[in-house]
Chain A
Amino acid sequence: MQSIKNALLSLFLLALMPAALHAEKITFLTPSWGAPPDKALLESFQKESGITVEIQSVQNKDLFSRTQIAAATSQSPADVIFLTQEAPSNLVAIDMMLSLNNLQSKDPLGNDLTGQEFWNIGGEQFGVPVYAQLVMMDYNTDRLKRAGFNTPPSSWSELKSMAEKLKSSGIDKHPIAMKSSDWSWYLMALSMGDPMFDNDFKPIFANKGSKSRVAMKMLLEFFSEELISPEIVAGTVNQHSIFWSGTGTFHQGWQGSIRIGNNAKKSKQAPHVAYMVLPGVGNTWSFPAAIGIAKFSTNVEASWKFIRWYTGKANQKSIYKAFGLYPSRSSVAAELNDEGLVDGYSQILAQSKKVNELPRQALWWGPFTAKVSEEILTAVQRGADSDKTVDKIAVIWNELKSEYE
């Protein structure tokens, strides 16, 4: 009697198993702005494919910590991981991501995906681009007009004199909203026309008389003349909060920032904010994001299906509508523009022709760029000489380079 019961029980369990196997589960580790915003869309994907997607949201820096600790023990924190622009240095470098070359050749995702080169490191494709963002600047047109300027500045010295006029005429006490950190310097140096690094990862920003040196000097002057609010140096807020709280006329933003800038519920600058193509040569750099598969994942096929859906038209559109993140598929971008949903399209287009990338693929980029921020902050606090600061930064680059190569 007992043996019959056992047999029946095992048969019963066996019958259950295929059903359990059908419901595959994958985990997706992402910062909050990478989580698919349209729940209904996600539900339909899960139903159609039979794959359950568990979304694990954390802050960006925590994402790195979690992944790094897992990597140290040869494990994956999740199946699919959202990759931000620091990911090459923080995740790919520690051998955490799977090469997608095989999957791409077997099951390609379409050729309207822009920005794939960024995620191609050493011939291996580690991520599928999700969105592309340029670092852009926007400004308050009304304030500029009140100071007597009808068009945005075409050079950085012009920007500086405009800012000084804004300050002296009392319209804006701290007209420039930029941070005392790495990005401000990159922005100014690149848009002044200095490529900063050459193809061999050599720091040509340190060359004598380079535009980067001019940029650093001007940046430090912005702080010493208090054209930038001292609150930025205090370190509790970033340039975006300062700008949207009403202080600042020129703002280092991003592709999509005027949507928040002109939102009366979130920004005191509304509705006067518009993009400006960067002054000078006008080059900027992009900070793309991608989605990839973790190295030790056991659900590679299912993960790829999810990636296909995630970078598909429907999800890309919903991401744009929820977060303002510009889709990586050029067809989707065109459609959104046709629907009139892209604010400031012409400036975005104009700016997108002037891009000069930074070498984020260098393994040591993460520590380097953090140290650049520290050097700039130190220079601002201590009133250090801009040339010496640039020299120091070059030393840091070379030291890290030799350590990692």
Chain B
Amino acid sequence: MIYFNKSQMPLSFNHYYIRRIWIYLFCAIALLWAIGPIYWIFVSSISTRMELYATPIKSWFPSEPTWDAYIRLFQGGGKYRGGDVSPTEGLMWKSLFNTLFVSIVSAAFVTFLSTNAGYVFARMKFKGKGVIFFFLMLMMPLPLWVSIIALFFMISNAGLIDTLTGMILLFIVFLLPLGIWLMSTFVREINPEIEEAAIVDGCNRWQLMRWIIYPLSKSGMAAVFLVSLLTVWNNFLLPLIFTRSPDSQMLTVVLSLFVGQYEVAWEDMAAAAVVTMLPPFLIALFFQRFLIRGMTLGAVK
């Protein structure tokens, strides 16, 4: 969708290219803002500590780049005097898998459940709709650690501490309110005439969902999926309290292990951060490509 074009056809090639230049300029600024610090993380992960301490002139690419930090990350690396034992030995791969699994499954469930619920709240009328909606949304701003003691009690009695299932269950519940709210917003934007036509044709609600709502709210569902995935990916408190062992430990807790007694192993943490950012990046890229392709095919009439 192009908002600032005065007409569908460019007036001239110049106009088209000037527009392009502006777009790329703003993109460059946006990328500088977003990626600049990330670049520093990458540089940190391949630098030595002495290079990071260099003042006042900094080299923007280390003169002696090294992959040591990454090697140490996955192997538990060298033990040498000065207090450097890699704390994440054996943990990186497992927690990467755990985090991927929990985040994808939770996000999938949340997307599915909240699209259904979003439709219900957006389109259907029934007694108590407002109350139920309010009920589901009310506790969203409640700080998590308020509930954490009682939650811990319940989850441990259910035997779900340190299990992937337990984590998934917890994340689904905490992500649902936002997901439902978002999807009800997006579903509302769908043209109701399409639905009415389908109902007149004899569709029941389930068929309506499958053939009309899901395809039409793809971008909304993608947004909810991505948001849920990233929220799980970055969450620290839940994995801290509810996981213990590599069985279900997640990346955010493993990353905190780089905070040593006296100093932070920043190069190692940076390497771990780069690795941590890779899976969500690839997933998001996939979604973006998928969404854009879907859009250019036009709306379903």
**Direct A–B touching in the complex (beta carbon < 8 Å)?**
yes
Give residues in A with beta carbon < 8 Å to B: 27, 31-33, 35, 37-39, 54, 56-60, 62, 65-66, 69-70, 72-73, 75, 77-78, 238, 240-241, 244-246, 254, 256-257, 259-260, 263-266, 268, 321-324
Chain A nearest CB: distance from B57 CB in Å? Answer: 14
B245 within 8 A of A: yes
Contact B241 A323 (CB under 8 A): no
Contact B257 A260 (CB under 8 A): no
Highest count of chain A CB atoms <10 Å: which of B82, B149, B156, B260: B82
Contact A57 B149 (CB under 8 A): no
Contact B240 A66 (CB under 8 A): yes
Contact B257 A58 (CB under 8 A): yes
Contact B152 A56 (CB under 8 A): no
Contact A241 B263 (CB under 8 A): yes
The residue from B50, B81, B253 contacting A324, defined by CB atoms under 8 A apart: B81
9 chain-A/chain-B pairs, Cβ below 8 angstroms? A58-B240, A58-B257, A59-B259, A73-B149, A238-B262, A241-B263, A260-B262, A264-B50, A321-B79
A370 to B242, CA, bound (A): 27
The residue from A33, A77, A266 contacting B82, defined by CB atoms under 8 A apart: A266
A77 to B153, CA, bound (A): 12
Known: A58-B256, A238-B262. A322 touches B149 (CB 8 A): no
Hey, which chain B residues are within 8 Å of A240, CB to CB?
A: 262-263
Contact A268 B83 (CB under 8 A): no
Contact A58 B50 (CB under 8 A): no
The residue from A33, A38, A60, A241 contacting B83, defined by CB atoms under 8 A apart: A33
A-B pair number, CB within 8 angstroms:
95
A264 to B153, CA, bound (A): 49
Nearest A residue (CB) for B76: A39
Highest count of chain B CB atoms <10 Å: which of A246, A257, A266, A268: A266
Contact B261 A69 (CB under 8 A): no
A62-B253, A264-B50 known; 20 other A-B pairs, CB under 8 Å? A27-B245, A31-B261, A32-B85, A32-B257, A32-B260, A33-B261, A35-B87, A38-B79, A57-B257, A58-B240, A62-B256, A77-B244, A244-B53, A245-B53, A254-B262, A260-B263, A265-B82, A266-B82, A323-B83, A324-B82
A38 to B85, CA, bound (A): 10
Hey, which chain A residues are within 8 Å of B261, CB to CB?
A: 31, 33, 60, 323
Hey, which chain A residues are within 8 Å of B76, CB to CB?
A: 39
Chain A nearest CB: distance from B239 CB in Å? Answer: 10
Hey, which chain A residues are within 8 Å of B256, CB to CB?
A: 58-59, 62
B184 within 8 A of A: no
Contact A260 B83 (CB under 8 A): yes
Known: A32-B257, A241-B263. A259 touches B87 (CB 8 A): no
8 Å CB interface, B49-98 against A? 49-50, 53, 55, 76, 79, 81-83, 85, 87, 89
A33 to B83, CA, bound (A): 8
B48 within 8 A of A: yes
Hey, which chain A residues are within 8 Å of B48, CB to CB?
A: 265
A321 to B245, CA, bound (A): 26
Hey, which chain A residues are within 8 Å of B258, CB to CB?
A: 32
A60 to B79, CA, bound (A): 21
Highest count of chain A CB atoms <10 Å: which of B76, B87, B156: B87
Contact B50 A69 (CB under 8 A): no
Chain A nearest CB: distance from B145 CB in Å? Answer: 9
Chain B nearest CB: distance from A228 CB in Å? Answer: 18
A257 to B256, CA, bound (A): 22
A37 to B80, CA, bound (A): 10
Contact A259 B82 (CB under 8 A): yes
Q: Binary interface profile of B, 25-61, with partner A (CB < 8 Å = 1, else 0)?
A: 0000000000000000000000011100101000000
B277 within 8 A of A: no
A263 to B257, CA, bound (A): 22
Hey, which chain B residues are within 8 Å of A27, CB to CB?
A: 244-245
A72 to B240, CA, bound (A): 16
Hey, which chain A residues are within 8 Å of B82, CB to CB?
A: 259-260, 263, 265-266, 324
Contact A57 B53 (CB under 8 A): no
Chain A nearest CB: distance from B85 CB in Å? Answer: 5
8 Å CB interface, B248-301 against A? 253, 256-263
